[in-house]
Amino acid sequence: MRGVYIVANDKVQENAIALMASLRLYDPTVPVYLIPFNDDYHTVAKRLGALYQVKVFPDMPLLESLTQKIGEIFPRDFLALPNKMRKLAAWFGPLNEFLYIDTDILFFTPVTETLSYLDQSDFIWCDYHYKRGLEDVFSNVVPEQNIFAPETLNDVFNSGLWGSRKSALSLEKLYEVLAECAAHREYFDFSSGTTDQPIMNYLVMSAIPKRLNIVKVNPGEPGSWGGSTHFEQRGHVLFDGERPLRYLHWAGTPMRSGGPYRDLWEYYRYLDDPQGKKAKTAADIKRAKPSDVGPLGSQLKHQLKRFLKGVVSNK
């Protein structure tokens, strides 16, 4: 069975809804499982279940055991939040072949098309991170000490979107490689605040030899980074020149009002949840301060106060 895993809790509910709206628009029936980031996931699980038939990861004891083991392997000054690595549970869930997707992503194509590349490989991804060299993945120690061959280092990837098959990694191998990582923190580049990405890259390069980057086998594959300013919106899809994007990943780019492609995110967030849009609008109005209403609003408010004062005086 092929499907999708996401990691979320109630804090990222808005992003998770937007992501799922985009997925379901193009793939109404693909199975999707929510891996809880922590214990605060019940609200988002209920919303995603009702709107998009998302199921909660069924093996919670495994998830708790995995998190505990990772916390034992890594010192807290190396990996402060073991929960950041919960996406690794994807290899041990109910899906035989899967795509893992961060919640700061929108899809503009059926995810089953991306999953189909697993016919050719045991691990897939689709980004141009390799053009940036080893930034946000490995330090210079790795090439200097020939930890990996140069052609292997050309397979660095962003850990927000990737796919694999259940048979590609055993739990024993996972813990073995993570222990190697914990013993060699000098291998990794955490300078930009990345967490799981360097460790994910080391894990995959060490344990899964059959890998495939879709952008290298699909000529003309468009970009995907939310920080790119040249994408053109047509309808509710972004284009890179004449090529529609497979997906858009904000990847550290601010996801806030006025941020890049925010209008597009708003469209998908409320596509299947119009009541959520009404609730947001009402909340925004309630939170508005006098300074938010502009000069005209302030003037009207002042006039209203004078009118009411006059009414009281004439009584």
pLDDT in tens, 161-210: 999 999 999 999 999 999 999 999 999 999 998 999 999 999 999 999 99
Is the model's pLDDT at 313 over the cut of 50?
A: no
pLDDT tens-place string over residues 141-154: 999 999 999 999 99
Give Cα 312 distance to the centre of its chain: 58
Which helix (H) or strand (E) segment is 142 a member of?
helix 141-144
Confidence (pLDDT) at 288? 66
Which helix (H) or strand (E) segment is 55 a member of?
strand 55-56
Contact 17, 51 (CB under 8 A): yes
Polymer length in residues for the chain: 315
Structural domains of the chain sorted by starting position, each given as residue range(s) with its CATH number in brackets: 2-269 (3.90.550.10), 274-313 (no CATH)
Q: What pTM, to 2 d.p., does this model score?
A: 0.89
pLDDT above 70 covers a percentage of the chain that reads 89
d(CA 249, CA 102): 8
The residue among 32, 46, 33, 37 whose CA lies nearest residue 12 is 37
How far does the chain reach from its first CA to its final CA, in angstroms?
A: 77
Which helix (H) or strand (E) segment is 33 a member of?
strand 32-36
d(CA 196, CA 190): 9
Is the model's pLDDT at 296 over the cut of 60?
A: no
Once rounded to an integer, what is the mean pLDDT over residues 23-28? 97
